[in-house]
């Protein structure tokens, strides 16, 4: 396992982060639409991940009903006595109840959200507390001031954001600097061979300002796992076998994505690793990426993904995957690239 600083902070985290969205048997109305694991299986995955060197776990209050993923993780932390060996991350922002103020990033809500997460996680601190998405109805300085107070109180050690636009991210960093508030150390965002839009603005901004990128959905919801093939039905037992997931799979059915899978197959054959491991390794070698968040419903799935930890792709292999997944950067990036020799 390899380790990197969490953004420009001093704490070290594994380059692979275990995501807990699937922890606990959530029903079909949850964010995972029923794709989840039992508490026993989730605890087995956690034990195996820790033994393999993973020291970074990411969940959110909204994963599962009534904070189910946090509660499953909290039970494991209490039983395993491994809390101090881990960097623990969770998130707040999305609706957790029917009340008027049960959603959003106001100070009023944040101070209650953190207490709820601490209770469910059965811990005295959250190492990385992240706003799950920007909230345009709340001034950024209100959110940052509340988070700053939590850091000063010792309930939170570092703060991060997720699903922020680039302009809002830079405005937030400016607000932190001007008002001497805690600043974000990480940006959690969707990033994979199929979704590279982050490279337009977010990656340069994170490099310039010292934020570490935490990637979510690195396997494109399982599409890059190696299970799915053009013009073939989903394999039995896979998540895309259900009608709801099959509709999601249809959005990947285009020439670019099948080209990406072909490049992954070729690279996997060269390395002797699974397709999923290659897709994750490609991300770990990308600029500004601190850690790649992946989920695993079983220990077997976990092991396939863990093989990415020490897999170093050659420059030629990275170039092959880059070429296969090339995307239209649009204006003004394409224009600036032509005018400045490929840079903007």
Angle, in degrees to the nearest 10, between helices 255-271 and 315-324: 160
**In the annotation, is 167 catalytic?**
no
Residue with tokens 């897999």: 311
- If you ran DSSP here, which 8-state letter would residue 134 be given? -
First to last CA, the chain: 34
Q: How far apart are CA 206 and CA 188, in angstroms?
A: 11
Classify the C-alpha dihedral 27-32-33-39 as positive or negative: negative
Q: Do the beta carbons of residue 284 and residue 276 sit within 8 Å?
A: no
Instruction: Tell me phi and psi for residue 116, to 5 degrees.
Output: -65, -45
Q: Do the beta carbons of residue 66 and residue 23 sit within 8 Å?
A: no
- If you ran DSSP here, which 8-state letter would residue 4 be given? E
Q: Strand locations in the chain, DSSP E?
A: 3-5, 12-14, 16-19, 56-58, 87-92, 126-131, 156-162, 184-190, 212-216, 289-294
Q: Do the beta carbons of residue 274 and residue 226 sit within 8 Å?
A: yes
- If you ran DSSP here, which 8-state letter would residue 307 be given? G
Quick one: which H or E segment has residue 129? strand 126-131
Q: Do the beta carbons of residue 138 and residue 105 sit within 8 Å?
A: yes
Where helices occur in 212-342 by DSSP H, the ranges are: 243-250, 255-271, 275-284, 299-306, 315-324, 333-340
Count Cα atoms within 13 angstroms, Cβ side, for 15.
23
The one catalytic residue in 63, 129, 164, 240 is 63
Q: Do the beta carbons of residue 186 and residue 128 sit within 8 Å?
A: yes
Catalytic residue numbers, as ranges = 63
């Amino acid at each position: 396992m390899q380790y990197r600083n969490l953004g420009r902070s001093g704490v070290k985290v594994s380059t692979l982060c275990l995501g807990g969205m699937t922890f606990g048997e959530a029903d079909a109305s949850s964010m995972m639409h029923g794709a989840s694991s039992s508490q026993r299986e989730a605890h087995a995955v956690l034990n195996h991940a820790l033994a393999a060197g993973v020291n970074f776990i990411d969940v959110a209050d909204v994963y599962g009903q009534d904070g189910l993923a946090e509660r499953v993780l909290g039970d494991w932390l209490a039983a395993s006595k491994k809390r101090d060996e881990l960097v623990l991350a969770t998130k707040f922002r999305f609706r957790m109840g029917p009340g008027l103020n049960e959603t959003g990033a106001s100070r009023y809500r944040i101070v209650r959200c953190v207490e709820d997460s601490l209770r469910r996680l059965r811990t005295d601190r959250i190492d990385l507390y992240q706003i799950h998405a920007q909230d345009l109805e709340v001034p950024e300085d209100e959110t940052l001031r509340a988070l700053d107070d939590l850091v000063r109180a010792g309930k939170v050690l570092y703060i991060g954001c997720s699903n922020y636009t680039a302009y809002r991210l830079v405005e937030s960093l400016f607000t932190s600097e001007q008002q001497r508030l805690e600043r974000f150390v990480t940006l959690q965002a969707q990033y994979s061979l199929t979704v590279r839009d982050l490279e337009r603005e977010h990656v340069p901004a994170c490099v310039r300002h010292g934020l570490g990128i935490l990637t979510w959905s690195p396997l494109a919801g399982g599409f890059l796992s190696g299970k799915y093939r053009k013009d073939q039905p989903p394999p039995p037992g896979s998540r895309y076998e259900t009608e709801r997931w099959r509709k999601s799979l249809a959005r990947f059915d285009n020439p670019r994505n099948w080209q990406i899978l072909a490049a992954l197959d070729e690279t996997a054959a060269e390395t002797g690793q699974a397709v999923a491991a290659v897709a994750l390794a490609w991300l770990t070698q990308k600029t500004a990426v601190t850690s790649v968040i992946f989920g695993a419903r079983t220990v077997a799935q976990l092991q396939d993904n863990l093989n990415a930890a020490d897999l170093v792709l050659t420059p030629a292999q990275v170039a092959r995957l880059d070429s296969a997944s090339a995307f239209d950067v649009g204006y003004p990036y394409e224009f600036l690239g032509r005018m400045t020799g490929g840079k903007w």
